[in-house]
Structure 1
Amino acid sequence: MLKRFFITCSGADKDLIYSCSNGEQNKYAGIGATVLFTALMAWIAASYALYTVFDNVYTATFFGLVWGLLIFNLDRFIVSTIRKRNRFGQELLQATPRILLAMIIAIVISKPLEIKIFQKEIDTVLLKEKNDMALANKKQVANYFQGDLDKNKAETDSLKSAITKKEKEVNALYSTYITEAEGTKGTMKLGKGPVYAEKRQKHDAALAELEALRKTNTDKIAAKEKQAETLKADLDKKVSDSQPVIDGFDGLMARINALDKLPWLPSFFIMLLFLAIETSPIIAKLLSPKGEYDFKLEDAEMAVKTNLEQNNYQRELLRTTDAGIYDDVYAEIRSDRELYNYKKKKAIEMLEMQADRFAEKQKGVM
């Protein structure tokens, strides 16, 4: 039962292969088993590759199965269409396009499994790339908000500087009227005279201005600090919102690129392994000697070809013979005087009718 299934997988003609020896049947059963297992590996590889894309087991398994069936059909077609020839060069020339196709299929199949085999190393590369992307993203977002933050800080510092400047002015006026009262500066007279009162008045006015300025600027500074906190919160939110995108940077293309950054030799040998598996049915058929099945298949094809050539020859012979007969028949008819006189009579009648019609038409015009 299993042997029959593998023979079916090989694409061999059942009527011919079952009339061959047991050894010939085993050879094609082995070829069919290789075709089947290659398709199974394609199914597994495609399912894993699609899982990294869809992140859903059922969807990945379904489309992976479709891909595996496609590979199975292609391999079965490739093996079943290779014919054994009398010269190996002819067989190799015939199989070259199929070998190239098998190489492409092997590369496509091997890549997802390479990704799975080197998953830990790929995760390390992706982690480094994610960290670099996170730092670059934070720097880019910070640069985006930096202008507003710098402007806010400059305006806050300007408000604080105005208060400080006014405080220095008030302190200077305070020192002036105190030293005037002490008689150490100004008029150098001890006591609170008119000059003292004038300087005290200037100080009190400046102090009132300072209080008003401090109140106004304090409110503005509070608003600016709140605005700065809002900008920083927006910056942090922007960074946190973009972080899931960076964390999700582990799709199929990202993993393929990460695989390319690893040493190429292990990946190359895995690809060679799949290449050997994929091309093994073709190589086996090329290297195997011309067997009983090949002779019977060639005999059946030659029988069909000979029958087709014979039918074409008979059709051509029938056509040429029939044409010759008709040539002779019409040659005899051409020499019949009775038929000649009859056609002459009818022709004269047609000419007379045409002349009468023309004369009537001309009379109508006149």
Structure 2
Amino acid sequence: MRTLLITLSGARPEILKLCPTEQGKFEGIGGAVLTTSVLAVVSMTFALNSALGVSLFLAIPASLVWGLAIMSLDRWLVSTMQADGPRRWRVALPRILMAVLLGLVISTPLVLQIFKSEIDAQIVQIKQQRANEFSTRQNTGSVAQEVTRLRKETTALQNVITSEGDVPLDPAKDPKVVSLTADRDAQQVQTRKLYDEWQCQLYGGKTCPRKGNGPLAQASKSNYEKAKSRVDLLNRQIEERKSELTATDASSKKERLAQATQALPKTQELLDAAVRRQSDLQNAFDAENRTTDGLLIRLQALNEVSGEDTTLRSTHLLLFLLFLLIECLPVAVKLMQKPGNYERILNLAAKQEFRDARDSYSSQFGSHPPAAGSAPQQKIHDDSASIWDIWEEPDPLRATRRTQAPAEPSKTAHLTDPQAPDNDHYSVEEDMLRTMQGTRVFHRSDSTGPVSERHGKIELFPDDDD
């Protein structure tokens, strides 16, 4: 168990063995990581089973995968955070925010499960409120209005058929009367516009600069009279239709009976279609409202219950903060600890790893080997000859320039006189420097030169801590 906890803490076992007093600290960090992963498994199981309706046989394996993911993230968070350094809080801030986010996600299903009974009761009220609102919309909506109108028409037609035409039809519900009335109203609006135009031509106005009974006024009067005649015709047709519907003679009764018998099947069909449409909407809402039991409605119920009860709101807040603190525990424990022997040895090990890597690189590529020597020196020469070939390879352009004799500088000209010949952009000082011997000193392990502390190797970089 201790090995598991130390592994979860992200510590290096080979270094931790050198400081046994630090093992308890890292076992505590590993225990915090294990605790958060177990809570993550329980939380995800509740969320999948209650919110999504997943069976426990499927929810438990998925929750275990989620717990392993949380364990890996927490282990990465605590292993990458440094316990020392002046900037550790600034560096740890993104990891703290990530830990808080994970805590919010994991703690919410646990809080919902604790208040399950209160949430279920509130969900019933929420569903009933939604049903009442939908019923109100059903009774006042366009579909409900159409159903009401068709039912009245069907009842009136059935009364006419039952009385064999003795019961008069309601003129206000007769389709022909309704159509004629709509045409009459539109024609009356047009007639009023034509009348206003005629009066404008007679007496002047904003759109009629010339007034008087001229050709324009006569044309406007003719249009108005035609429109008025159309209105009068429609009024006569409406009155005739009303008389037919309310007449009591035998022929009128017979005609009403025939019209009602012909119109009833069509009206009944329209009524049945409207009722089915209204029923389908109600059934769809009932099915959705009955099966709605997910995470969103539970969060809504929890917020409503917490808002109504002060005690429940305080308890909810305390439990939420408790689970959030537990989820952030690994990062908090890591930040609160002071650097100990483990951190010091870890820093030394990191420096030693750097030195070993540097020496390995230097022995292969770092320096030119001596011209003569033992077999190890010859091996070093073979390994690094390619790099020194690059350094010692002559530049063809410079070799060509050096074969040419430079012009003798003028006795009166200064060595760095800008008016003097530039020798192909090279000054005399630069040519003199190129002819000087190299001053590099190779640290070798033979008796002909200085001896390096790393025997048999060529030192490219000096130790920064020697």
Would you say the 8 A contact 2:48–2:59 is kept in 1?
yes
CA shift in 2, pair 1:260/1:317, >3 Å? farther
1:6 pairs with 2:5: yes
Match of 1:322 among 384, 388, 395: 388
Flag the structure with more relative contact order, 1 or 2, with Cα contacts below 8 A and sequence separation at least 6.
1
Q: Which structure 2 residues correspond to residues 73-222 of structure 1 after superposition, within 5 A?
A: 73-85=72-84, 87=85, 89-142=86-139, 143-159=141-157, 167=166
**Alignment deviations for residues 155-199 of structure 1 (CA, whole Å, 9 cap, x no partner):** 235336757796589xxxxxxxxxxxxxxxxxxxxxxxxxxxxxx
Q: Which residue of 2 aligns with 1:256?
A: 299
Q: Which residue of 1 aligns with 2:343?
A: 294
Q: Which structure 2 residues correspond to residues 23-38 of structure 1 after superposition, within 5 A?
A: 23-38=21-36
Would you say the 8 A contact 1:49–1:112 is kept in 2?
yes
Any stretches of 5+ residues in structure 1 without a counterpart? 170-204, 338-366
Q: Which residue of 1 aligns with 2:456?
A: none
The secondary structure found in structure 2 opposite 1:36 is helix
Any stretches of 5+ residues in structure 2 without a counterpart? 169-247, 308-312, 369-383, 404-466
Q: Which residue of 1 aligns with 2:325?
A: 276
CA shift in 2, pair 1:317/1:245, >3 Å? same
- TM-score, structure 2 normalization: 0.54
Deviation at 1:232, TM superposition (A): 4.9
**Alignment deviations for residues 126-154 of structure 1 (CA, whole Å, 9 cap, x no partner):** 22221122223333344353233223233
Would you say the 8 A contact 1:46–1:64 is kept in 2?
yes
Would you say the 8 A contact 2:164–2:254 is kept in 1?
no
Greater CA deviation, 116-125 or 27-36?
116-125
CA shift in 2, pair 1:137/1:284, >3 Å? same
CA shift in 2, pair 1:328/1:156, >3 Å? closer
CA shift in 2, pair 1:84/1:307, >3 Å? farther
Would you say the 8 A contact 1:24–1:292 is kept in 2?
yes
The secondary structure found in structure 2 opposite 1:25 is helix
Which AA in structure 2 matches 1:305? F
Q: Which residue of 1 aligns with 2:460?
A: none
Would you say the 8 A contact 2:150–2:267 is kept in 1?
yes
1: CA distance, partners of 2:396 / 2:270: 111
Greater CA deviation, 120-129 or 243-252?
120-129
CA shift in 2, pair 1:34/1:238, >3 Å? same
Which AA in structure 1 matches 2:32? T
2: CA distance, partners of 1:95 / 1:268: 26
CA shift in 2, pair 1:149/1:286, >3 Å? closer
Deviation at 1:309, TM superposition (A): 4.2
2: CA distance, partners of 1:207 / 1:267: 81
- TM-score, structure 1 normalization: 0.67
Would you say the 8 A contact 2:44–2:106 is kept in 1?
yes
Q: For this pair of structures, how many residues does the alignment match?
A: 298
The secondary structure found in structure 1 opposite 2:328 is helix
Would you say the 8 A contact 2:160–2:167 is kept in 1?
no
Q: Alpha carbon RMSD of aligned pairs, Å?
A: 4.0
Would you say the 8 A contact 2:164–2:253 is kept in 1?
no
Would you say the 8 A contact 1:54–1:60 is kept in 2?
no
